[in-house]
Structure 1
């Protein structure tokens, strides 16, 4: 029989169907390929973790409780979105490095003033009446800024100045008389005895003037002020009291003569803080804050009366209170010059200040609390610096006196250790695990924890993980829960936590 020419051969139909399937697969590639890829990755990871048991002919179900967790080699495949949900950014996915670990003890502490520096009292050196007040409470001033103007009413000072000026005038008269007698003595008109008597009188006046200068200094005036009284021939009746400098004496005490120009604290343009060290002005001086202003315009004051108090908050102390049993360890840390870490708590969590210098350890133990005081240097920094329309400057410092915190004092040092954050490990029964990254796959690796505190974990360098391995530095507990969910077991909400 002759074949039917209209009939299509079966091989041609198969080829056409295959081409149509390929075209459909290409057109829907973006739909089915991600799911297939994730399934292949999960299958390969499962085969790698269970390959050894399958090669020995073990029955995976024999003696195995599906309510328990998977084996130590369990792993997770995390999408980029899942990594972000777990907080595994580049900061928390980094290679393991060998570092030095210092075992620390934690002691309660408080920020305290630095004795002899943080507090300055400005007192009146003489009796008088306040004529001008150029500062306000809370204002920040620089050394040399004008604080007060005083009209002197101290009678003894006025009498001493008057006597000193009279003595200076008599010395000038004697100098002119001696010069005249020297000329006539050389001509023989007058005997030399009279010239000698005038010289003796001058020496007596100079000795008297010296004692009067010392009396003026005893009243609170400095050498420059005394000299200007003699040179100008004017009594000192007004004083300008300026802010002192904690570190230097370039402003020559806190008093200045009325004739000396001084910039006012409240009505002058102060240079801005550009790039200072923490707490320091760009001129090299530390700003002082007026904490307590006790006087007002028109008030009569007496010598020694307190006018105001200034505070220098640029450098403070942290006073820690350690237990008596820790005395030996803390003394050893101070001897070795180990740095101390401070932990401040606030509404957003904890803030750590690392590498603070241990200034000194007290030589006595408190009889009441049986604690030992240790003092740590705390450099402060300005976080707000503003001036109002009157030119008054106000500062806000980062650390404040009375602020509570914790100090971590190192007492033992281990070199060349694998140190991870405490959130990088998770406990499951007798095992501790970390998660090592390999592309999108995170493998759970058992490790030996040598030491663990509330912040860090020291892992034994025994080959379980190596320097250079990329480890998840956080969210190990959540990853462990994900593995437990995947294996079908109930999630232990306390896994990885010690109570």
Structure 2
């Protein structure tokens, strides 16, 4: 009796079906294997092509990133960016002083910049040898005055009379000495004449002191007694700021002077003061108050002279900066001055901080500090009349800024602020290699108004040549270069 297939168990059925499929596949192998093999090969080839394309795309993008981090600048482009040799120089380690900026103004130097010339005696002006704005040297003749000071005239007259009486007594004493030796006259008369002479000499001494109080020197008083002539003409000359050689005596009739104008032929072209053999700083007549024929009194101001060779810069710092400024003074740190009204802005470096005020202005609550400012002549011309005119580089009242150092860091990489550019969280400088400028990330330790301090961490080294300006414009060029390029993969599918 035969059993029905439907009575077989399920595992046996699955095994039997698998054997039938294997036998059938083996029987028809030549029919389906070539097609399956070609399909597998095509699939693998397609997968390898996709992988290669992805790597190539990544490499291409990497190449674009490298190109975007550098610029190739022609010599013309470098000049357009202002990258001259001055702004393409090797990095050097230097000491950096963190500074504060305070507003300031140029002021006269007390006791030096302004000189008042006044008349020592009463008189009438007979000659004026100077004009407003003219530059004069110490010892140059400014004015001539005919004296009308009665006290001086009377004192000179009394002194001349006394000196004449002393001369008479000398002759009488000499005569009495001869007759006394012969016994014709007693010695008492000779002794009386000697006493009289001593009284006259004491009186003459007091008169000489009175003349000295009027301004005459010992030499001038001696000349009055020797020559027997009164001094009636006064010559007023320009004083010397540093010495007193012209202040020891009045410049009167017998004293030789040189006139301010018409003294000698002068060059008509502009020459610096050093080429003209100037040994003293010239003085400028700023305020001329008299004219010929004017009657003047003792102590009256005749003119004002100004010495602009040495000036002060007065800075106004906040009260809370007093300690830092005092420390800068103690350390002897130099100060820089920035003239904001020049283009480009001029920086006067290494100026001496002279002193800091001991009081704070009650209104503005600011502290004054004073810095020395040596001045220089930028124009020196003499006209055909022999009158000399100067133009100084720095002027009283000119406004500027002072950079006062308050902290010092030693051996730092210090660059101008225009040498770095910020992009997101990164700061970059541009390293030069021929015509190629590579953007290099750096760590900025400190950024001031005019300088930045770069960490010496190996990103750049001393001796590397970097662009000291135009970093922002170069960064814009890189951004335009990377953003404006055509995508080579646009419109393609992989």
Are residues 1:369 and 2:335 paired?
no
- 1:357-401 deviations in whole A, cap 9, x for unaligned? 111110111110000000000111111111111111111111111
The answer to whether the 8 Å contact 1:70/1:484 transfers is: no
Q: Give the C-alpha shift of residue 219 in structure 1.
A: 2.2
TM-score relative to the length of structure 1? 0.82
Which of 203-212 and 263-272 deviates more? 263-272
The aligned counterpart of 1:60 is 58
Equivalent runs, 1:61-140 vs 2, <5 Å: 70=65, 74-140=69-135
Equivalent runs, 1:277-316 vs 2, <5 Å: 282-316=277-311
The answer to whether the 8 Å contact 2:266/2:383 transfers is: no
The aligned counterpart of 2:211 is 216
Give me the whole-angstrom Cα distance separating, in 2, the residues matched to 1:415 and 1:58. Answer: 49
Give me the whole-angstrom Cα distance separating, in 2, the residues matched to 1:73 and 1:162. Answer: 99
Equivalent runs, 1:437-456 vs 2, <5 Å: 437-456=432-451
Q: Give the C-alpha shift of residue 169 in structure 1.
A: 0.4
The answer to whether the 8 Å contact 2:134/2:389 transfers is: yes
Equivalent runs, 1:166-185 vs 2, <5 Å: 166-185=161-180
Are residues 1:427 and 2:422 paired?
yes
Give me the whole-angstrom Cα distance separating, in 2, the residues matched to 1:82 and 1:140. Answer: 49
Give me the whole-angstrom Cα distance separating, in 2, the residues matched to 1:360 and 1:254. Answer: 35
Partner SS, residue 60 of structure 1: helix
Q: Give the C-alpha shift of residue 143 in structure 1.
A: 0.6
The aligned counterpart of 2:156 is 161
- 1:72-122 deviations in whole A, cap 9, x for unaligned? 981111222222221212111111110111111000000000111111111
The answer to whether the 8 Å contact 2:266/2:386 transfers is: no
Partner SS, residue 115 of structure 2: strand
The aligned counterpart of 2:390 is 395
The aligned counterpart of 1:38 is none
- 1:164-186 deviations in whole A, cap 9, x for unaligned? 00000001111111112222222
Q: Structure 1 pair 107/413, CA: closer, same or farther in 2 (3 Å)? A: same
Give me the whole-angstrom Cα distance separating, in 1, the residues matched to 2:230 and 2:273. Answer: 42
Q: Give the C-alpha shift of residue 486 in structure 1.
A: 1.2
The aligned counterpart of 2:353 is 358
Between the two proteins, the alignment pairs up a number of residues equal to 431
User: Which of 256, 262, 276 lines up with 1:261 in the alignment?
Assistant: 256
The answer to whether the 8 Å contact 1:329/1:411 transfers is: yes
The aligned counterpart of 1:6 is none
Are residues 1:245 and 2:245 paired?
no
Q: Give the C-alpha shift of residue 187 in structure 1.
A: 2.3
Give me the whole-angstrom Cα distance separating, in 2, the residues matched to 1:425 and 1:258. Answer: 71
Q: Give the C-alpha shift of residue 216 in structure 1.
A: 1.5
Give me the whole-angstrom Cα distance separating, in 1, the residues matched to 2:89 and 2:451. Answer: 16
Q: Give the C-alpha shift of residue 296 in structure 1.
A: 0.6
Partner SS, residue 487 of structure 1: helix
User: Any stretches of 5+ residues in structure 1 without a counterpart?
Assistant: 1-53, 491-499
The answer to whether the 8 Å contact 1:137/1:291 transfers is: yes
Q: Structure 1 pair 248/313, CA: closer, same or farther in 2 (3 Å)? A: same
The answer to whether the 8 Å contact 1:323/1:371 transfers is: yes
Equivalent runs, 1:407-422 vs 2, <5 Å: 407-422=402-417
Q: Give the C-alpha shift of residue 207 in structure 1.
A: 0.6
The answer to whether the 8 Å contact 1:366/1:372 transfers is: yes
User: Which of 461, 468, 473 lines up with 2:468 in the alignment?
Assistant: 473
Q: Structure 1 pair 349/274, CA: closer, same or farther in 2 (3 Å)? A: closer
Larger % of helix: which?
2
The answer to whether the 8 Å contact 1:95/1:471 transfers is: yes
Q: Give the C-alpha shift of residue 458 in structure 1.
A: 0.5
Q: Structure 1 pair 270/240, CA: closer, same or farther in 2 (3 Å)? A: farther
Q: Structure 1 pair 231/58, CA: closer, same or farther in 2 (3 Å)? A: farther
The aligned counterpart of 2:336 is 341
Which of 103-112 and 249-258 deviates more? 249-258
User: Which of 396, 399, 402 lines up with 1:404 in the alignment?
Assistant: 399
Q: Give the C-alpha shift of residue 58 in structure 1.
A: 9.4
Partner SS, residue 304 of structure 1: coil
Partner SS, residue 444 of structure 1: strand
Which of 342-351 and 253-262 deviates more? 253-262
